[in-house]
Structure 1
């Protein structure tokens, strides 16, 4: 059996999954591959949130977007619908009290499919035509959701809620990577950006000599887009689970 389960989410989101991994009898190791930080200027975010009732729908592209926005909110106007791209973001809404019949929350029809494309299939775009939609996201990100909404005649505003970046290769991080690459491990990767960042960090370790060891590691990923990124980066063992922590955990159990 592989030695550790490497959880690469930002630390706050990684800890609940780490506890669940430990409950399976596996050894979790949290190694955040994306640093999430507040914006230097959050005035545009606060201004958009102050006008929530102007929007027919507010879409959050990640749990980080949910958490960053709700840090500025005391309550959500029940008449304003919400949308999220996956189960992680829906769980984040629930942590902030957005659950139950009092709120309209749109999610992909298939819980195993967490992306903008499947969220779009769950929205009544014709009913939103001519109305305003707010998309809350990081400073950078895919344009699939805003572009598709605009193409449907919807007035779209986007606002950044947080900043994300691949961490610098510090001596401590380099030592952790070398130790992990010395043997087989299971790596839970929930972001293509994080996976590309990991590959870039390993290339810096020793002139690229460790890249082959990285490519032999077993990746567990929730989305086909991440699996495609892994294939392009030369990884040879990738398990695609579908969205949701319960599916990631089931994949680990199957390797016990």
Structure 2
């Protein structure tokens, strides 16, 4: 049996675990690359006001799994019994799963098969005409303004809270050398911020390796950075990314539990 292909993954923190499991199940070597940390921001008066008035929001829109964790922690502190008023929306399946597991709520997500993105979430009929509805948008610092701008354009009375910050860090010497040599079969990235950060350690050898990304928007960015072998997964879930790895590296994904990994 030949050497297992090395797959480098860039998902930060605990979110890397289901993806490592999915890629390992393919018979590949999953190598997490620690180049980003997520840090909870101190609670502000704006946050306290939003939590105290949470029952007044018609909708809560959640950007990421970590934002969902932060929201759940806050609601656990302020609401021993969750109010029934707000409807929940998530950009992707992994975020929806955190909300469902932590809060037990039903979550609106982008239409099946259209990928996980702000654009696909905004296509939902219930987000078209918002007519002065109070909407809470929870996210991290920075990021794309598309969701906030579009919701306000459609009439929302929007409160946007940044609950955490992303901290980019340099790879350690061994990881930087591996990147520079292109000493891997594929690199998996699902964040534009991360992709731009990693470009600083990429050489021609790196750019010639397979890059697996989670959206067409990231494919456009990757092309502009010089990556040549691009594979666009059907979404950002561990199952979708693992399926793209299997196809790119000619691996058998028959043993992967896709139903379980869709939740990761």
For normalisation by structure 1, the TM-score amounts to: 0.87
Matches within 5 A, 1:4-19: 4-19=6-21
Which consecutive segments of 4 or more residues in structure 1 shift more than 6 A?
none
Residue 129 (str. 1) matches residue 131 (str. 2): yes
Go from structure 1 to structure 2 and tell me whether the alpha carbon gap of 1:26 and 1:158 turns closer, same or farther (over 3 Å shift): same
| Aligned mates of 2:144, 2:20 — CA distance in 1 | 28
Give how far 1:111 is off. 4.1
Query: Per-residue displacement from partner, 1:187-224 (whole Å, max 9, x unpaired)?
Result: 11010111001113x1xxxxxxx521221121111111
| Higher mean C-alpha deviation, range 158-167 or range 16-25 | 16-25
| Aligned mates of 2:173, 2:125 — CA distance in 1 | 44
Match among 95, 111, 115 for residue 89 of structure 1: 95
Matches within 5 A, 1:73-152: 73-74=75-76, 75-99=81-105, 103=106, 105-125=107-127, 128-152=130-154
Alignment match, 2:229? 237
Contact 1:56 1:128 in 2 (8 A): no
Contact 2:39 2:164 in 1 (8 A): yes
Contact 1:54 1:132 in 2 (8 A): yes
| Higher mean C-alpha deviation, range 110-119 or range 127-136 | 110-119
| Aligned mates of 2:9, 2:101 — CA distance in 1 | 21
RMSD value over aligned CA atoms? 1.9
| Aligned mates of 2:97, 2:123 — CA distance in 1 | 20
| Aligned mates of 1:175, 1:44 — CA distance in 2 | 42
Give how far 1:138 is off. 0.6
| Aligned mates of 1:46, 1:4 — CA distance in 2 | 45
Alignment match, 1:207? none
Gaps of 5+ in 1: 203-209
Matches within 5 A, 1:40-55: 40-55=42-57
Matched residues, number: 241
Give how far 1:132 is off. 0.6
Residue 184 (str. 1) matches residue 177 (str. 2): no
Contact 1:2 1:184 in 2 (8 A): no
